[in-house]
Structure 1
Amino acid sequence: MSNLQNLVKSLGPVRLAVLGVVGAILFGFFAVIAANYSGEPKALLFSDVNVSDASKMVEALDQMKVDYTLKGDGTKIYVPESQALRLRMQLAEKGLPAGGTVGYEIFDNADALGTTSFIQNINHLRALEGELARTIASIDGISSARVHLVLPERELFSRDKRDPTASIVLKLATRALSGQQVKSIQYLVSSAVEGLTPGHVSIVDERGTLLATGMGDDGQAMITATAEERRIAYERRLRGHVENIVGRVVGAGGARVEVTAQMDMTRVVKTSDLYDPDGQVVRSTQTVEDTSSSQNGKQNDGVTVGNNLPNANQTGAGDGATSRDAANRTEETVNYEISRTQRTETKEPGRVERVSVAVLVDGTYTTAADGTKTYQPRSPEELAKIATLVKSAIGFDEKRGDKVEVVNLQFAAPKTVEAASATAPAPEGGMWGLSKADLMRIGEMAMIALLALVAMFFVLRPLIARLGFVKVAPSSADAQLALADGTETPVAAIAGPTGEGENVSFEGNEHLTEDMMIDIAQVAGKVKQSSVRKIGELVNNHPDESLSILRTWLHEPA
């Protein structure tokens, strides 16, 4: 207890205040670390939520009395790991996160009796836009979407009808969308809105890049895009064929192939009718026969009683001359059917007009006895054979204007593994395959360990050294006299930089050897007895200088 009191008195008020402040800072630091790491670990509840959804979710968590943490400017919400799944289901039951849009839930609490038809139409439009935005945002590569629909109403007694249109703004999670994905979004929206065609759906991304015009001409653009994809696939297929066959000759990696195909992107529809005059066939035959006869004679045209009597004409038939006329007519109509061929020919875009192939092959290498490699170019005969193989692989057509070039050049030496690793970019997640959160946690633990070591060596160790058992050394004058006489050697007093005496006890000189190791208080390890003897001899031979050094040590601040 007396040692502790002496220590406190020797420190002084200033040092005590500094130690108190340092102790308070260390205590607060370790308390914060203990509070952060002693509790339950937290898991990510939702990320990339907008401000409106985040405020509603925070309000719901406050009502449920759940401990949460906001990070990333409020776009990330962390909750205790054991409650994450349950909280997701509870928030989903409340329609959170809604993605900043309103869907058909707008009609859940609506008063149908007190709502006008105009408000109903507006709410229906908002709900349709919100549902489409949610559906589009669920596509891979899209983080959020905003949809605007224009559904014109047909005016009364009006013949003109305007088509509906749609505009979509996408926030992409990736760099860009493929043409097929853009078309799928157009067809998705047009199928959900009555009367909307894919050509009237315009799409832009958050950077203002136009993905679809929406001016009604996207049909031809889609056909062109399909033809372009066909060209790329055709070039890739030919390149694979050439690399496969040439690689068997020059070895793997010994050839580079580039294929360029020129295609006709126009679409042609041709209709033709062909008639064959030699292929006559009787279709129908019509025959008409007409027979007629007539008799002419002299008749008594007088009006008499005899002419009016029955059989008057027979009795008077011989009175005048008579003549007979007969006519026969036969008409035949034959209808022939001529052979007819009707042909409709449609030429789709993507007809190959010309193919150009460039093949770069490496030479051969010979290894000398010392390990050096010597490059040797390939012979023209070998290059000609390779060109023949390439022509056969691509279906070479000279009339079409195809061209094949095979060139032999030495390839550049590949980079070494060390150079490639030095120039390779670091992974996005962090160094050594660790995420940023793992690196931050490792840094915090390293800082804690460093502070613990500093506190141990610069705070705890001096305190323990001062509170240890220390013998009172004899005065410097007595020590000097004892050394001068050489009669007392049981105790050797050695003054350190702090002014305190360090006592070394000896049983007797006769029991010590020059190389015997002895212990000295507050000195780590052991010291040779011969070294202590030499110090005693120096003090004995130079008492004044030794006394001055001891006084200087005693007056040095602790």
Structure 2
Amino acid sequence: MPEQLQKILNNVREFFTTLDTTKKLILGGVALTVLIAIGILSTISLQKNRVVLFKDLTSKDFAEVTKKLDSLGYEYGSSDTSVVTVDPEQRQEIVTKLAQENLIPAGVQGWELFNVDKFTETQFDKDIKKYRALKGAIEQSLMTLRSVDKAYVNIAFPEDELFTSNASPVKASVILHYIPGVESLSRKEVKGIVNLVSRAVPKLKPENVSVADADGKIVSDFEEDLEKERLELRIVQEKLRIGEEQRIQRLIDMRNTLRWLLGGEERVDITRFEYNLNWDKESYKDNSVSPVVAIPDNPNTPYSELKLVDGYSLKVSSKETKEDFKGRGFTPDGPAGTEPNIPPGYKDTDYQKSEYSKSENINNYEFNRRVSEVQKQPWKVEKVNLSVVIDGMWEKKEREDGTGYDRKYVPVSDDELRQIRKNLEAAVGIDKARGDQISVITIPKDRSAQFA
């Protein structure tokens, strides 16, 4: 094989030496042209083929789409300001992202959006294949979402009517199965799906697209979510209103109590009043057992007439069984026609040895039982913290020279503080078992400006 190759090379060399300079230049130019053409074709073949994303775009739509593609980091190409081309493997993903941002051009619908070719079958076949192609293209596009595992789309095309006023609108429903670990989609993602489906189907409005999860829960009903948020806001406002009303009422009760005890509010400062309400709903079942009362207590008498039945319970049922059997039982003789396997004389005496006795006494007693289902009020006081500072009395005595007065501070006594504390606890509803705290102290108030 090397000898044949060497022979071919020698022939080529001899042929090339026989050529004059002009022919050598022509042959070299042809070879160079072929090499350049091969290089250009190789470079073109290495570049990825692009497919049309959108065409016939306006200048505004072209600018918005290309700006968004730049921000998302996708590569794209354009021959002019009306056509955008992208990588075919990224086309469905790009369409989904643009739909989430509501950047699908208004003129792009249905087949132009998903690049579905038309068919040449009968009109009925065309309609069926058209529906299948559109349905499959939308499902394929939806499944490019990271949170969606599977997607099922159903589109209801109404029959043509003679008058457009009688025509029913086009409707679509989408069922989404999320990937493991994803419980729901964000509102922005759901809006993107609604926009994508409505733009893909001719004459389909976004309000006629319903999106549900695998459990059948509608996730595209934003009006319901908005109404729910409004209801929650009203509930919070009502809770705040009730809490503030209760706090003000307790504050009024405190001030009335202090005004009556101290002769006014000048000597009192409420430094802290915390009144918290608990809005947790509680419901439980109460099953209680109590002894049976024979004679109830009379609340109008100073002594107790309460009397319970014996054993604290009533007999509700009883069963008494008694059996007694003595002598002359039955001894089987065996099959007919055979001699019994019994010693002589035993059969005559076994009846005298038989004896049987049974006694049974069952009594069922019942206590008083009460089963009740309790549902507490929607709010209750959770905790109350109160801090009150009281100024003492200032005694005024005229000086002997008549030039003014001398004042002496008399603090509030411990007995008075205990009395005030006791009245405040009753007015506010302090419950130590609940963790409520109350502080009533006496501190002299600076009255320098008043006595100057």
TM (norm. structure 2) is 0.33
TM (norm. structure 1) is 0.28
